[in-house]
Amino acid sequence: MEIQKVIQTIQDLCQKTVNRGCTEAEAMAAAHKIGQLMKVYNLSMDRVFLGEAKCVDGVIPTGRKRRHPIDLCVTAIAEFCDCRIWYGWEKAYHLFGLSTDVEMAKYLYGIILDAMDTATTGYKDSESYKLGKGSYDIRCPRKKLSVSFQKGMSNRISHRLREMMQARHVEERAEAPVIMEVDEITGESISTGTSLITVKRDKVKDAFDQLGIRLKKAARNPCYNDNSAFRKGQEAGDKVNLNRPLPGNVVGYLE
């Protein structure tokens, strides 16, 4: 049997789970068959589910000398897309991961940045901004108000991305393929299973370790926020469409 046909057979068998309507007996039979095929053909989960996918280094040039509030959510973007991220000397973000995940992270970064610009323009039309009123109607520099608004957006978007990531992980763990292997010593069947997210993360980690790059946390921005503008930014952060682009979908900031 050609190796690609074996891989396709394993992928089809992985769909035979109780969650997808199979009986427990059918799911167990599929799990045993998966274990046999992977052992006979010496296949790894990486090879079966990721094939020849390679890790790439994607670049997001910022062209900025100063930090931008979107910097507060770039880590959440990278985590959501299963990528590693760091800021380079050339004033650009580097994303390391599978090519499709890197492209998704770059897409999200652009969508979020555009949404922040759009929402900030709308906020600057508000009476409180024009009058320079912050929390408790106290006078506040407009620059501080707009930055606080954008930080609030970035804060809420970060939380949303992590909530979406956790929900996806729960779903993937529930649908993770079960593999039944026979212990060569005891002869007993051993149940194993892993999710695609785990396979991808292991692949990205191994590839990243080979680069020899050591990352460290960036220093926190000491600038204080105006609470009122920050909360309004959080409300705006709930209106950003973070779904993958599909035909007919509205993307970006939803008024």
- CA torsion sign for 59, 65, 69, 71 is positive
* Complete DSSP assignment for 194-205: --HHHHHHHHHH
Residue 84 binned pLDDT confidence (cut-offs 50, 70, 90): very high
Give 147-198 pLDDT, tens digit per residue. 999 999 999 999 999 999 998 888 777 666 666 655 554 445 555 556 667 7
Segment 223-233 mean pLDDT:
87
* Listed range (17-31, 92-106, 222-236) with the worst mean pLDDT: 17-31
Please identify which residue in the block is written with the tokens 């051993």: 190
Residue 32 binned pLDDT confidence (cut-offs 50, 70, 90): confident
Residue 248 binned pLDDT confidence (cut-offs 50, 70, 90): very low
Distance CA 230, CA 145 (A): 8
Q: Are 116 and 153 in contact (CB under 8 A)?
A: yes
Looking at residue 207, its pLDDT comes to 86
Task: Please state the pTM of the whole predicted model.
Answer: 0.78
Give 202-220 pLDDT, tens digit per residue. 888 888 888 888 877 766 6
Distance CA 187, CA 252 (A): 56
Structure tokens at 247: 């035909």
**H or E element at residue 125:** none
Instruction: Identify any residues that bridge with 253 across adjacent strands, giving them in sequence order.
Output: 240
Structure tokens at 229: 């503008």
Residue 247 binned pLDDT confidence (cut-offs 50, 70, 90): very low
Distance CA 57, CA 35 (A): 34
List b or e across 150-176, with b for residues whose CB sees 16 or more CB atoms inside 10 angstroms. Answer: bbbbbbbbbebbeeebeeeeeeeeeeb
